[in-house]
Amino acid sequence: MRTFVMGLGEKPFRADQVRRWLYERGATSFGEMSDLPASFRARLAEVATIGTLVVDDEIASRDGTIKRLYRLPEGQAIESVLMPYDDGRRTACISSQAGCAMGCVFCATGQMGFARHLSADEIVEQATRFSRELQARGERLSNVVLMGMGEPFHNYDAVLVAIRRLMSDLGIGARHITVSTVGLVPKILDFAKEGLQVTLAISLHAATDEARDRLLPVNRRYPLAALMSACRTYADATRRRITFEWALIAGRNDDVRTAETLGRLLSGLPCHVNLIPLNPTRGYDGAPTALPQADQFVATLARFGVPATVRVRRGIDIDAGCGQLQSVVEKRRAAASAP
């Protein structure tokens, strides 16, 4: 910011003024920045914009969840979600890529294929927009999870810049930021050296290589032994508990024996397992696990000293699982255009 502002012939302190307007006061135009000289505001309007993402569609859930579709300049779409909780938390789930190259079979984003990486600006803008809207009604963005479209560690450099900006520009504490990966082992080891106290989440979903190979193709390159070794290195370096994400798929990975295998795999590792009843997509025929079976899975993991909870599913009436907004938009538009 300072380099940009000084390049326009202004004093460095003007950058701090602009930053406050953008991230503390929620300005949506340069004209609102009343303590800047009129000539500087006019110059900013000529050479810069506040954000580049264009809202293409938005859906609100009965539980207050908002899911938004942005159209990129090249025509690709990305999505982000704002989830309100009864305890006052306001969590933004944001994307790091348009599409995804990882090919996880139950994920709608993986079924789309990869389009391009997002820039750090595009990643941060998703959270910034939610932050401004919350500020306007006397609330604040408290948490950010990079669990939207894309594999964050496939876009490592931009994501790292974005994480630092979420902390510095939006004031989100490191421990209130979560970054999720399907298990890119070299990047997990790199991330362990960054000195950040953010939460690392691993999309696990299976406890044997045979089962994980079927769900997550990345496992053929980085099998469970390598992944678990990297996780232990990360936990030792950061002293942070790792979150493991597990989509509960009825009849496939939700039985007691699977829970026991998972318990043995994670035993002794500082971690927590988030159990997520599968949100089905058109490209995968799995169904979500019923709550009694999910509770049994939790109880089985507890026998191995592995804590787990069944995640509260938000925005189910709008298909608010990662990667599902576009299918909803397509259905709505098809219905609107039908004779």
Neighbours of 49 (CB within 10 A): 9
Name every residue whose Cβ is closer than 8 Å to that of residue 132 and which is 6 or more positions away in sequence. Answer: 26, 28
Single-letter amino acid code for the residue at 20: R
**Can you tell me whether residue 192 is helix, strand or coil?**
coil
Name every residue whose Cβ is closer than 8 Å to that of residue 151 and which is 6 or more positions away in sequence. Answer: 96, 97, 100, 101, 102, 181, 182, 184
Q: Strands of 308-310's sheet, edge to edge?
A: 54-60, 66-71, 77-84, 90-93, 143-146, 177-181, 199-203, 242-248, 271-277, 308-310
Query: Taking every pair of C-alpha atoms in the chain, what is the biggest distance, in angstroms?
Result: 69
The full DSSP string for 289-325 is PPHHHHHHHHHHHHTTT--EEEPPP--GGGT-STT-H
Residues forming the active site: 79, 322
